[in-house]
Amino acid sequence: MKIVDLLNEISICLDAKAADKEEAIRLAVDLMDKSGNIRDKKAYLNSVFKREEEGTTGIGEGIAIPHGKGTSVGAPGLSAMLLPDGVDFDALDGGLVNLIFLIAAPETKDNIHLEVLSRLSMLLMDDAFTANLRSAKTASEFLGYIEQAEAAKFNQQAKEPKAGADGYRLLAITACPTGIAHTYMAAENLENKAKDRGVTIKVETDGSGGVKNALTKEEIEKAECIIIAADTNIEMSRFDGKRVVVAKVADGIHKADQLLDRALGGSAAIYHHSGKDSKDTDLGGSESAGRKAYKYLMNGVSHMLPFVVGGGILIALAFLFDNYEINPANFGMNTPLAAFFKTVGGQAFGFMLPVLAGFIAMSIGERPGLAVGFVGGVLASGGYTFNNLMNYSEASPVSSGFLGALLAGFVGGYIIVLLRKVFDRLPASLEGIKPVLLFPVCGILLMGVFMIGVNPIVGALNNGLNEFLASMSGTSKIVLGIILAGMMSVDMGGPFNKAAYVFGTAQLTVADAGPEQFQIMAAVMIGGMVPPLAIALCTTFFKNRFTENERKSGIVNYVMGLSFITEGAIPFAASDPLRVLPSCIIGSAVAGALSMLFSCGLRAPHGGIFVIAVITNPVLYLLALLAGSVIGALLLAVLKKPKVQA
């Protein structure tokens, strides 16, 4: 089967005009419908739009390859359009698109058509070929260029010599989520660039039709380096001990030379497989110490959050449903309903520190680290020291709180790493008792000695921090609100955002937490709510600053912002960081400052607008949220230039 078998003259338009990306796709679908390949035009159109939501198919250089797959397609097919005036397609290089190939792929076990489509993707990497297509005057001439290029390209490939006795110098794997176009384009570009340098390379493609050109064990052993250009998980265990370069599939299309430079320069790190899973993209030893520490911390935080959010909101509800006048000293437990929420929520919230420490330790020392870290978190929370072991009920505990649990997690993980090295000297016959006896007993023992010894020191730091926060008032309190709320917008889910959020939730764990701690959590949450809301407002009232797709996404950001899901702003920040980030940071900082100024407090660590009833001074809190969002939207409107006509 050839490319021209999937494309006929009736599905080609050489002088199309479209106002935006959506209209261009609709025109291409109309052309596809003329070929008779589509059973359900509406369903197919929806599948194409759904694919665009995952990421643009505008690959750069004025080319786009939108595609849809499903039961709505009766037979594989192509349609093609030239748009002389170009159209904004949200392309990866930011340029206008003037050449579009639309792909229709059916849900069948026979994937021969995918091989044909991969051929088209490869041909589109040839500038001379695309120039010919753009110069075509008739549909027949357009098809003729495709047929000529296909014959020349793939007949030549069939005659190219294979690797010699020493194997391929480089190996590569390309893969994209849909596995239709980008996978093969990245492979083609890597092959072409390597050929220009006289370097032998073999590229495995993990596409919709399955793995093609699979790398063999012998080829891997002989290769100098392996390039992974993929946006999906691939089997990495086979590359243990080899130099590996890992990048996005888009880098294989646009930055092949840089990838080859890294692979040939000897600077690529040696990959060491963790043994946890055969299908991963963990960079192992190639990651910096800071990046590893961040990943370990986030593993603990991600497992901790369900306990914090669930327990914290239930505790907040307990205060909402209680009557302060009954017994002020027992507020939160005065009524049966309040007592129920407070008890259940308190038990869930109590797992926060042990779970944080346990899963940090587990990410470092694997499964044996879980028990060691968990015990360390309990000891940190309980404030056990050598002075109060015998008379804990009488002596004052010195809880090291969140800082202690954090320390326990990292120490617990590395205790297991140390024990693993020590026990490696034992006979192989004792291998089975390591995880069930030696690791837990020795690990928990060492963790107990360590935490009970350092609790007084870390506890003093923890108490000092809490006292400092409790003493903050006036200007200093407002400055803290500006910093924490602004951090929530710096990277929207990244290290700065998580650092501010973890700091805010940690204040809720403080024994006898007061208004100061609750005000910190309120400022943190409002800082995370502003970015999506600011973008949503800007897309609503300043439409000409955004594309049609961006305006549609803006509506969704209303819901995400009100739900305290900062990540809704990420696509906008990624596409235009120099304008979006400053606007959002300033808007969040203003909201955080006002929240602190109004003394708004929050006992729940999440919930957004849905926990407004448990926020202290809720009306003023909403006013602060509105002010920050409006300021962020106005700044964004000023910084962004008009893009399209609304």
Longest dimension (CA), the chain: 93
- Whole-structure pTM over 0.75, yes or no? no
- Residues identified as active-site: 67, 176
CA 118/CA 586 separation, integer angstroms: 46
The mean pLDDT of 419-440, rounded to a whole number, is 82
pLDDT band at 301 (very low <50, low <70, confident <90, very high): confident
Strand pairing class (210-212; 201-207): antiparallel
Per-residue pLDDT at 512: 62
pLDDT surpasses 80 at 490 = yes
Cα–Cα distances in angstroms (integers) from residue 359 to residues 124, 349, 432, 635, in the given order: 47, 16, 23, 41
Q: Set out the domains of the chain in order of their start, with CATH numbers.
A: 3-108+126-155 (3.40.930.10), 170-286 (3.40.50.2300), 289-467 (no CATH), 474-639 (no CATH)
> Nearest Cα to 422, choosing from 447, 407, 408, 443?
443
- Helices 368-382, 352-365: inter-axial angle, 10-degree rounding: 150
pLDDT tens digits along 619-628: 999 999 999 9
Q: Which amino acid is at 65?
A: I
CA 534/CA 588 separation, integer angstroms: 9
CA 616/CA 332 separation, integer angstroms: 15
DSSP string, 9-75: GGGEESS---SSHHHHHHHHHHHHHHTT-BS-HHHHHHHHHHHHHHS--EEETTEE--EEEETTBSS
pLDDT tens digits along 158-214: 444 455 556 788 999 988 755 556 777 788 888 888 888 888 899 998 765 567 888
CA 553/CA 538 separation, integer angstroms: 12
Judge whether 198 and 135 are in contact, CB under 8 Å: no
Strand pairing class (201-207; 58-60): unpaired
Which of 102-116, 326-340, 583-597 comes out lowest in average pLDDT? 102-116
Dig out the tokens for 485 from the structure: 């709320």
Per-residue pLDDT at 511: 59
474: left (phi over 0), alpha (psi -120 to 50) or beta: left
CA 331/CA 600 separation, integer angstroms: 19
Per-residue pLDDT at 179: 53
pLDDT band at 282 (very low <50, low <70, confident <90, very high): very low
Which of 110-119, 269-278, 382-391, 425-434 comes out lowest in average pLDDT? 110-119
